[in-house]
Amino acid sequence: RTRKGIQLRSRRSLTPCATLQSPQQSTPTAKPNWSPNTWRSRPILQQPVYPDSQALHNTEARLSQNPPLVFPGEIRRLRAALARASAGKAFVLQGGDCAESFDHFNAASLESTFRVLIAQSIVLSYLSGQPVLKIGRVAGQFAKPRSNDMEDTAVGSIPVYRGDIINSAAESKDARVPEPERLLRAYSQSAASLNMLRALAKSTQSMMEWVSLINRLTPEKYAALVTHIEDALNFVAACGLDTSASTEGLQNMREPEFYSSHEALLLTYEAALTRQSMTSSGHMSWYCSSAHMLWVGERTRQLEGAHVEFLRGIENPIGVKLGPTADPAEVLTMLDTLNPDNDPGKIMLIIRMGQDKLMDRLPALLRAVKQEGRHVVWSVDPMHGNTIKVNGVKTRPFGRVLGEVDAFFQAHAQEGTVPGGVHLEMTGEENVTECLGGDVNEVTEERLSENYKSMCDPRLNGAQSIEMAYEVGQRLRK
Ligand code: PEP
Ligand code: MN
């Protein structure tokens, strides 16, 4: 069959669910047999069981009346930008906490992460010569998939912590009971975060502020590069271009566009925030207003499962995490399901295979997707496949994280495909000691306990994040 001039081979034999596969009979935006509730009849993993279902329904009803957090026009703009990234004309920087928390929420931390993300994007943009698209793991990244349902603690075996939107991390049986009220708190915190991020993106930062932040966090070995970046920013400022620019690139530096994203794990929350609106081509369609971009996690991406069913119906760009077991046929069927029209800004495949396995597994996926003419943004999450334990504490050595980034670029060079983005668990806070290594103020094993704050997985700190931007930027250099 042919769509948009691209030959797609029939995948009937690989397609487990025929009802998901009828794009040729549909208009481009109509989603057959879909509503924000069709996921409810599919098998679902990683969900809490609320003791009081009436209380949950009341909360869902409340949420569904709340204002949207993001708007269809913004979502469409992000899709257009992602389409450029899929063609190698932009690079995506996605980053933020593993899990946002109610207790640790504060303006200083949010602002520092925003500022480090912008500083990273300046380094990346300078080194790659490309615009950098900034997407936070923020304003909704509250629900966590877990490996086990129960956890052994000092007070015995109790249900696991599933993220602040569901239960409390405190070590008691009562604290782990899921509370519907938390959905509303997560919504409010997300609204407050987005309000601040939107304001930060609107307030003109002087070039000098970026220069001093980048300077402070740049490793010694990149002293020569930072001088060039400083020169470039000074030049822009001296020309008056930072305050009176009109071109898209300069506009973006003055008022960086910043998008939000999180894992679409807790589907009651996502469904309650899904709203109908007109698409650019004049069809009515569904937009999830909880974030600009949503992704499906490695543990919940079953083709027949509830999460894929929910995500196939919304207009937002969708990320798919792919671990070492992902195989080409499965990935192509996933693309059929989530992006039947092969729209270039719709799908981001986020590779998280671990530095040791990537070279073994990724090339086959790159080849299959390229051969079938599918448009995707290939991104790498070098965090989740490279976690180790040191003295019982989860950490990620900078060298291993970089090892997966390296393998990712190597695989793309080998297959002639486009490395389009990087996905990091990070914080702008400079004194956090969760990941080992880093050139500026190195985190040693002894220092891990100094300031380990993450509720879930270890994050790169401010300086480690900037160093990673240099490393990625070097690899993007033509
Ligand atoms: C995450 O991004 O926090 C996460 C749990 O990732 P994955 O689904 O890739 O394990
Ligand atoms: Mn994580």
- Residue with the smallest CA separation from ligand 1 atom 3 is 98
* Ligand positioned closest to the Cα atom of 455: 2
Confidence at residue 9, expressed as pLDDT on a 0 to 100 scale: 38
Ligand 1 mutation pick, 381, 386, 425, 426, max ligand atoms within 8 A of CB: 381
Asked if residues 52 and 370 have their Cβ atoms less than 8 Å apart, the reply is: no
Contacts of 286 (CB under 8 A, 6+ apart): 31, 34, 36, 274, 275, 276, 277, 313, 314, 315
Written as six digits, the tokens of 338 are 């989530």
pLDDT at 220: 94
Ligand 1 within 6 A of CB of 270? no
pLDDT in tens, the chain (478 residues): 333 333 333 333 333 332 333 333 344 456 889 999 999 999 999 999 999 999 999 999 999 999 999 999 999 999 999 999 999 999 999 999 999 999 999 999 999 999 999 999 999 999 999 999 999 999 999 999 999 999 999 999 999 999 999 999 999 999 999 999 999 999 999 999 999 999 998 886 677 788 889 999 999 999 999 999 988 888 877 777 665 444 556 666 666 789 999 999 999 999 999 999 988 788 899 999 999 999 999 999 999 999 999 999 999 999 999 999 999 999 999 999 999 999 999 999 999 999 999 999 999 999 999 999 999 999 999 999 999 999 999 999 999 999 999 999 999 999 999 999 999 999 999 999 999 999 999 999 999 999 999 989 999 999 999 999 999 999 998 6
3 is annotated as contributing to ligand binding: no
**CB atoms < 10 A from the CB of 272, how many?**
23
Our CA dihedral for 40, 179, 63, 348, rounded to 10 degrees, sits at -60
Which two structure tokens, joined as six digits, stand for 119?
């500083």
The amino acid that residue 29 corresponds to is T
Amino acid 253: pLDDT = 65
Ligand nearest to the CA of 301: 1
Q: What is the pLDDT of residue 2?
A: 35
Ligand 1: nearest atom to the Cα of 350: 9
What is the position in ligand 1's atom list of the atom closest to the CA of 299? Answer: 8
Calpha distance 355→71 (Å, rounded): 37
Q: Is 97 in the pocket of ligand 1 (CB under 6 A)?
A: no
- For residue 281, the model assigns a pLDDT of 83
Per-residue pLDDT at 422: 98
Whether 298 lines ligand 1, by a CB cut-off of 6 Å, is yes
Ligand at shortest distance from the CA of 137: 1
Q: What is the pLDDT of residue 121?
A: 95
Is the CB of residue 92 less than 8 Å from the CB of residue 377? yes
Instruction: Give the span between the Cα atoms of 385 and 324, in whole angstroms.
Output: 9
Give the closest residue to 458 by CA, choosing from 435, 440, 436, 432.
Answer: 435
**Residue 6: how many other CB atoms lie within 10 Å:** 12
Answer whether 133's CB lies under 8 Å from 87's CB: no
